[in-house]
Each structure stands twice: as C-alpha cells, then as structure tokens.
Structure 1
C-alpha cells in the first residue's frame, strides 16, 4: 500500500472551502482548495473534533478518486479522549476503511500538523 499524508491547509486544490484562522473574535477567512489525486491514487480527507480537551469526540472522512468522484465515507464516535487522539483515530480508521474497500494507493489529507508529525 502506498500512503502519503499531506497537510490539507497547504495543498494545491480545485474546489474551494472557507475556514477561519484565529480566535473567534479575530476570524480571518482563508480559502482552502481541494485537488484531485493522480490516478491510480484516491484521496482520503479526514477530520476529527472533540467537545473539550479531553471530551466527547467524533471523526469522519471521505474517499474520492482522480476525477473528484466520491466513493465512500465513514464516521465514528468515542466517549472521552483528547484532540490529538481523535485526529489520529480519524487517520487510522480512514486507512482501515480505504483498505477494506479495496484501495491500495492512498493520499491522506488532514488539517492536523501535530498528527502528521507524530506519524512521521
């Protein structure tokens, strides 16, 4: 299996989403754009979120092909953990999901630099 993990915020992209950088009082909109992977790769976009740190958490993701077509998605929930733990769980469960659905060439995009550094 070939897996590449990249930071979603710095990737070159095709579809535009807006996110806010900074505290809620100093929100600064920035554009994030999604780019399709080169065939035979699929792209696994994941994210996790917790209510509190530690707290109740959820995660999910989607798998898209080189044309940007959605193949499948996944999600999960845990009762109590930390922000970084949920990001790592999202990556792990996303990889399992992609593998179990027959994908062997995977690019993972996440917004967690800490998770990327821990994996590296």
Structure 2
C-alpha cells in the first residue's frame, strides 16, 4: 500500500490557496510529490483539492492501493458523510469519490 499525505493551506478564509502532497511506498521512500497554486478559495476547498490532486496523480501512476492521510477532520467528514456536503463542494467531492472508486483505499486523520 502507498501512503498519500496531502495538505492545503490558505492565507485567509477565503484567501490565496495552495495545495501539495507526497506519495511514499511501503519502505517510506518518496515515489511522487506535487504542489500547486490554486488561486482564491476556502481552506476546506484547499484541503479537498489537495486530496483530489494526490489521488488523481496516484491513479494516473497506476497506484491502486492508497492510504490517504489528511490533517483536517472537516475534509474527512465531508468525504465520508454524503448528507452533510456543502453545495459549493459537491462537484469536487464527487470527483474524489469517483477516483477513489478506482482504487483500494483508506482515509484517516493525522495530526499536524
């Protein structure tokens, strides 16, 4: 199983946003990494966009067993609770779910 750690950050909420992540193998070796400027949005959207980019990169690299670790409980709850999704994040959350359906995965919270 590969581990994907992602993080989104914003300067203000909403504010200028960036996202990044790292994918490591079972030996803790870096396989892939990414970072991206995302423009203006909320901190929760930044976290979710970081997860989306990381999962998309994993799937595109034929990595199908993924353990996603994120440092925000809000994003974790939004992924696992379809009934509590804000309308402006619906599309992004659905895209994440569609990507995750192509892999064997687990998602957990990690402290900063």
Q: If the length of structure 2 is used for normalisation, what is the TM-score?
A: 0.70
Corresponding residue for 1:62?
A: 22
Q: If the length of structure 1 is used for normalisation, what is the TM-score?
A: 0.65
**Superposed counterparts of 1:41-52, under 5 Å:** 41-52=1-12
Shift of 1:44: 0.3
Q: Which has the higher contact order (CA 8 A, sep 6+)?
A: 1
Count of residues paired in the alignment: 80
Structure that is richer in helix per residue: 2
Corresponding residue for 1:112?
A: 72
2-side partners of 1:71 and 1:88: how far apart? 21
Gaps of 5+ in 1: 1-40
Corresponding residue for 1:53?
A: 13
Structure that is richer in strand per residue: 1
Corresponding residue for 1:97?
A: 57
Report the 3-state secondary structure (helix = DSSP H, G, I; strand = E; otherwise coil) of the residue aligned with 1:59. strand
Report the 3-state secondary structure (helix = DSSP H, G, I; strand = E; otherwise coil) of the residue aligned with 1:103. coil
Corresponding residue for 1:87?
A: 47
Give every structure 1 segment of 4 or more consecutive aligned residues whose post-TM-superposition deviation is greater than 3 Å: none
Gaps of 5+ in 2: 81-112
